[in-house]
Amino acid sequence: MAFKTLFMAHAPDAEKEKHRSIIDTGKYKLFSVVVKNQDDAISVAKEMYDKEKIDSIILCPGFTHTDVSGIVQALQGKIGITVARGDGPSNKISQPIIQKEFGR
């Protein structure tokens, strides 16, 4: 039985049904889905918990504390949720690109 993790990231042009992938080593199964907004994120989190019985979720740095709380509440605290946050220098490097591409 594999440990199953869902990684989610935001993109303004994402289609949750289309922009997804799976990496399966046998002992570790990583699902990745790019979502457009918080509603999509909650929908995907519930779907993956129900269908795949995921053990954890990793969120990109674009998820706010409020977003994380919404996902925790939607899943009733049943699985661990981690947010991948960069350090100061890394954020300074990536921020101009994010602003250019995503307008934030």
pLDDT above 90 covers a percentage of the chain that reads 76
Residue 59's pLDDT is 96
Residue 78's pLDDT is 95
* Residue among 27, 61, 63 at smallest CA distance from 45: 63
C-alpha span between 17 and 51 (Å, rounded): 14
The model carries a pTM of 0.86
The structural domains of the chain, with segments of one domain joined by +, span 3-102
State the average pLDDT for the chain. 92
pLDDT in tens, 65-84: 999 999 999 999 999 999 98
C-alpha span between 4 and 38 (Å, rounded): 22
> Has residue 104 got a pLDDT over 70?
no
